[in-house]
Amino acid sequence: MKKKTTQKVALYGIMGAMALALSFFEGLLPAMPFLPPGAKPGLSNIVTMFAACSLSLPAALYIAVLKAFFALVTRGVTAFFMSLCGGVLSAVAMYILFRFNKIGLIGISVISALVHNFGQLAVSFVLVGNKAVFGYAPFLIIFGLIAGILTGIIFRVLLPAVNKYNLNTQTNTSEGG
């Protein structure tokens, strides 16, 4: 029991570090003039996808909340709320969609990106109090499609490692570890 708890804490720590490193990397990317303000490709969502696919909803939510606190520290309160709302909604969507995996990895990634963008629009509306923020919706939909496809492809490439992890976890569990 203690070994399994230690392994879980270590895995969550590694996943958290990976998500934060990817978030930091994305922060270094220059703003694109044709994209909505703050738009990023969402590479750190690959870690959330791994958690939603292979672990549990709490694991995926842990990654989403951790990334939101990272946004708070690095970009401020508005970024925190946008990251938190978008990330939590996206993690829940991923988890549900992986349980009914009828649309494939790229489909799950695209829908999750769109849900994330919807969450951010909702926070923007609450903060600004003007429905004019929904004018960004067409741009966010296009960008969400592109970002979702990109992260879905990357996750698909990484899927053999995820499957290896699942096999190792099942083997360790069956051995009583």
**Report field, pTM of the whole predicted structure over 0.85:** no
State the angle between helix axes of 104-128 and 137-174 in degrees (0 to 180), rounded to the nearest 10: 130
Task: Please report the pLDDT score of residue 61 as a whole number.
Answer: 95
Question: From first to last of its 177 residues, what are the pLDDT tens digits of the chain?
Answer: 677 778 888 888 888 888 888 888 887 777 777 766 667 778 888 899 988 988 889 999 999 999 999 989 988 898 899 999 999 999 999 999 998 878 888 999 999 999 999 999 999 899 988 888 888 888 889 988 998 999 999 988 988 876 776 545 544 433 333
Alpha carbons 135 and 61: distance in angstroms, whole number: 29
Task: Please report the pLDDT score of residue 64 as a whole number.
Answer: 94
Number of domains the chain contains:
1
> Domain of 22?
2-174
Task: Please report the pLDDT score of residue 88 as a whole number.
Answer: 96
The backbone torsions φ and ψ at residue 169, rounded to the nearest 5 degrees and listed phi first, read -65, -45
CATH number of the domain that 42 lies in? 1.10.1760.20
> How much of the chain is in helix, strand and coil states, percent to nearest 5?
85, 0, 15
Task: Please report the pLDDT score of residue 165 as a whole number.
Answer: 61
